[in-house]
Structure 1
């Protein structure tokens, strides 16, 4: 994930309003096929598009309200989903002779930090595509109220990624955040209070990336490049066992990366610890160090702790009335902003590196998983060295498959929600998690845990 290097304190972040534009949406929808063609990305979505066409036809006729929850393995997911909604669903509706009285418009939640690292143009496009910017590290009441209102009103489907952020792994899912369940129950309550009898349904969408033609030669060449960069003796891949050789080489590269990070953090590993245990120690140390800097309590899961660190860093980088500070106070604010940026970088690296381990590539030794782990390692090195890693040669063209799961009705769960909110939300999230996992073609049927065993 790209990041900005902060040298000075900046004016406070302002709320980004939602300013949907049909013209912008029309232009973007026409450009998306060209983008995919240039990237060699093949989309497979016929059944998902037809299922969504039926759902949108019902929603636009006033028969139901929709909350769409999609897997989020890649930063490319937003453009893939946009093509599905804006291009493929209307085509499917025409094939099925379904009436869509209005062009498909959506409301979706996105992280307020995206325009910071992706740039103002991306922020502008998100606003004009129906995006609702939300601060993930704090209770963002205005954004939640806007999303809740949109879902209850029902004119536009609300789209969310329950994982909260990408994990860059198509074969395993990160823990789901409870916000999607809370929004669903809030909106269901609002519908009841308004005597609105429309059902509220949650539609799960699975997204799975793979390489169309496994290129073991390119994979081995990039592994060799990493080994040279890290000073590891290269291992020649045997023609008969590229899976075993690639797995061993990736694990060795991960070990060398971990050793470098342990040296950076002055950590002395226990020789009896496994690789996974050492990753856990490194992760907890990095989070604790950032939390101590900001005076935060170490509570919650990995996602919650990372989001609080992120928000604390932003509070020191983006300040109210920073331009009105006296010179000395302004210099101190700049100093504090630089230190906050370093802690934010530490958190990002911890968050990213926990995906690098042997578990993911040992459970199912196939080209796709090796390639995903290779990209994670290259990106981690780019983070450490503060410059993008240019992986060559190309691993080849990719395919993305989209699947639509069974709709989860919300209103029948309201009585349970009123009697025991925590239990009702947990059960709902378990059902949603199962629906998303079931759509992963080669998933190990296990979700990521807080041990870092990805």
Structure 2
């Protein structure tokens, strides 16, 4: 497990206010195409640019209030979406001879922890691009109130990732968090009370990444590097199988077996003979989360993502503390000790988080290059994170593309009667409908 990076307790995290800046957004907007060319990322609009151009026109005309809910498979999603909102939708509107009345300006929720691991410059940019920082592991009332006000006022579209975090897999979606539906219903009630006739809509947006060429030789070379690094040995695989991808699947299973063996040894976990790899991963995840929760006195409740967020927040509460300057020397030393222990538990949770979206479908379904390549990157990242040094990812798998698609708008106001009758059921139904829409987009339906 990585060395503990926190040695001392630190002052409490301050709230990061939204400081939207059009000059900064204009600069970023102009740089995005260059960034994609350097990365070799090909962006395909699908129906997203045209659909959003129409949605932004209706919004700027005061006809609708928009909440955009997007799939979040990659850390590159914010850049891709910024280009979609600021460049491609606007360009499409001009091509249709109905340009937008003004540049698109949005508000979006982002995790307060991003500036901690990504650095203060990223935090500065997020603030200037319209970001609303939110603590995901607790009820962050100020951030929720700001997001609710954005929707109620209707001046800016609000952008949210209902999965809550990246899962690094384009073909699988993490369970959605109910915050999108709850914010939508709150805003619908606010709009109704104020007598506004805005049509509040939730727009589902899907992003799917793939490789522009299937470089199997590069994939094989990187699998061999992983096998050497993990000391994977065994009977030779049957290269004459009818399904050429079966060999790759078996190699991944061997690599996964070696990796989970190491993690089980770290946690002193035992497994039954011939227990499927996916079951062992599940047991490891639950054990790691339970151990961290026990340290912080937390209850094991909710989805895996929700449990991770609570652990993260509990660790931050011990690392970032109020009133450190007033503590006498001994109490300050105890605070530093607690911070180091909290950071260790946070590291345990981060390691579990790498396996959150690894399921039987990931490993056992009919394989294709993109799925195997994403699993490869996930394993490499996990090993690099454990060893506290970047994994040497070579040779390159080649440039990627991202395909964007827009689902049918989901009107919120017609759902208000159901929400008033049974709030929990209405929120659950809304999220089920949103998940179904995103699944259809993800599967190309």
Match of 2:380 among 371, 378, 387: 378
Displacement after TM superposition at 1:420 (Å): 0.6
Unaligned runs of at least 5 residues, structure 2: none
Unaligned runs of at least 5 residues, structure 1: 444-454
Q: Which residue of 2 aligns with 1:140?
A: 140
Contact 2:46–2:403 (CA under 8 A) maintained in structure 1: no
Q: Which residue of 2 aligns with 1:451?
A: none
Are residues 442 and 95 of structure 1, via their aligned partners in 2, closer, same or farther at CA, if it must alter by over 3 Å? Answer: closer
For 1:49 and 1:104, locate their aligned partners in 2 and report how far apart those are by CA, in whole Å.
Answer: 13
Displacement after TM superposition at 1:332 (Å): 1.4
Q: Which residue of 2 aligns with 1:200?
A: 200
Q: Which residue of 2 aligns with 1:73?
A: 73
Contact 2:4–2:340 (CA under 8 A) maintained in structure 1: no
For 1:275 and 1:162, locate their aligned partners in 2 and report how far apart those are by CA, in whole Å.
Answer: 29
Q: Which residue of 2 aligns with 1:91?
A: 91
Select between 43-52 and 167-176 the one with higher mean Cα deviation.
43-52
Select between 327-336 and 70-79 the one with higher mean Cα deviation.
327-336
Q: Provide Cα deviations, 1:85-143, integer angstroms capped at 9, x if missing partner.
A: 11111100101122411110000000000000000000000000000000000000000
Q: Which residue of 2 aligns with 1:168?
A: 168
Contact 2:174–2:357 (CA under 8 A) maintained in structure 1: no
Q: Which residue of 2 aligns with 1:119?
A: 119
For 2:79 and 2:109, locate their aligned partners in 1 and report how far apart those are by CA, in whole Å.
Answer: 14
Contact 1:53–1:98 (CA under 8 A) maintained in structure 2: no
Match of 2:290 among 288, 291, 297: 288
For 1:4 and 1:280, locate their aligned partners in 2 and report how far apart those are by CA, in whole Å.
Answer: 25
Q: Which residue of 2 aligns with 1:422?
A: 424
Q: Which residue of 2 aligns with 1:27?
A: 27
The alignment of Structure 1 onto Structure 2 pairs a total of residues equal to 442
Displacement after TM superposition at 1:328 (Å): 1.8
For 1:409 and 1:4, locate their aligned partners in 2 and report how far apart those are by CA, in whole Å.
Answer: 47
Q: Which residue of 1 aligns with 2:258?
A: 256
SS of the residue corresponding to residue 353 of structure 1 reads coil
Q: Which residue of 2 aligns with 1:104?
A: 104
Contact 2:171–2:442 (CA under 8 A) maintained in structure 1: yes
Q: Which residue of 1 aligns with 2:357?
A: 355
Report the TM-score when normalising by structure 2: 0.96
SS of the residue corresponding to residue 47 of structure 2 reads helix
Select between 310-319 and 291-300 the one with higher mean Cα deviation.
291-300
Displacement after TM superposition at 1:3 (Å): 11
Contact 1:4–1:116 (CA under 8 A) maintained in structure 2: no
Displacement after TM superposition at 1:324 (Å): 3.1
Contact 2:45–2:405 (CA under 8 A) maintained in structure 1: yes
For 1:323 and 1:37, locate their aligned partners in 2 and report how far apart those are by CA, in whole Å.
Answer: 49
Match of 1:339 among 338, 341, 356: 341
For 1:310 and 1:366, locate their aligned partners in 2 and report how far apart those are by CA, in whole Å.
Answer: 34
Match of 2:302 among 300, 303, 310: 300
For 2:5 and 2:113, locate their aligned partners in 1 and report how far apart those are by CA, in whole Å.
Answer: 14
Matched, 1:275 2:277: yes
For 1:80 and 1:108, locate their aligned partners in 2 and report how far apart those are by CA, in whole Å.
Answer: 14
